[in-house]
Amino acid sequence: MTRLALLPWIIIPSLFLLLHGCQNESQSTSSVSRELIIEDTLEFILKDGESLPLEVALANDNDERAAGLMYIRSMDENQGMLFVFEDEQPRSFWMANTPLALDMLFVNEDLEIVTIHRNTQPFSQRNFTSEIPAKYVIEVNGGYTIRHDIQEGMSVRINEVAAE
């Protein structure tokens, strides 16, 4: 057999291994997930003066803020994440590697909700900005703010531990 005749016997199995290996790699990447670890509770102050509690995971350092809700595949209705920053300034968030639709609430240092982005698209590269300075950002399941009539201008009560 000539060398040219051996070529298909080498190329076809090599292509099969290459394609099969890539398929398995993409499957493992898409199955990456994390678990939400609840650390505290905050409260939304509703129009009628009642409060609505929300259990939150905290993101109060650069690594935690960078990870955010990436790869979190589900949250209970009364759960979310609280991002705590050292200072108040316009903030910008995006949905990279985030499989959940979220509502993003930007909160100033006086604990007033200054901007809400509702039902953000999962995996979006779009920047969601506050433009108005914010010290905190709260992420909840998409549609949460509509279901509970939470609006800009309303207040939030954050525990001192979470605010540190």
The superfamily in CATH containing domain 40-163 is: Protein of unknown function DUF192 (2.60.120.1140)
pLDDT at 16: 43
The span from the CA of 30 to the CA of 84, in Å, is 29
Residue with tokens 């509703």: 46
Q: Are 54 and 157 in contact (CB under 8 A)?
A: no
**Ramachandran angles phi, psi of 146, nearest 5°:** -70, -45
Side-chain-side CA neighbours of 18 within 13 Å: the count stands at 6
Sequential pLDDT tens for the chain (164 residues) = 555 554 454 555 444 444 444 443 333 345 678 899 999 999 999 999 999 999 999 999 999 999 999 999 999 999 999 999 999 999 999 999 999 999 999 999 999 999 999 999 999 999 999 999 999 999 999 999 999 999 999 999 998 766 66
pLDDT at 14: 47
pLDDT at 150: 98
Q: Are 54 and 42 in contact (CB under 8 A)?
A: yes
Name the residue ranges covered by the structural domains of the chain.
1-31, 40-163
**What region, left, alpha or beta, does residue 55 occupy, with left being phi > 0 and alpha being psi -120 to 50 degrees?**
beta
pLDDT at 32: 79
Other Cβ atoms less than 10 A from the Cβ of 82: the count is: 26
**Ramachandran angles phi, psi of 89, nearest 5°:** -160, 165
pLDDT at 53: 98
pLDDT at 30: 54
pLDDT at 33: 84
**What region, left, alpha or beta, does residue 92 occupy, with left being phi > 0 and alpha being psi -120 to 50 degrees?**
beta
pLDDT at 161: 61
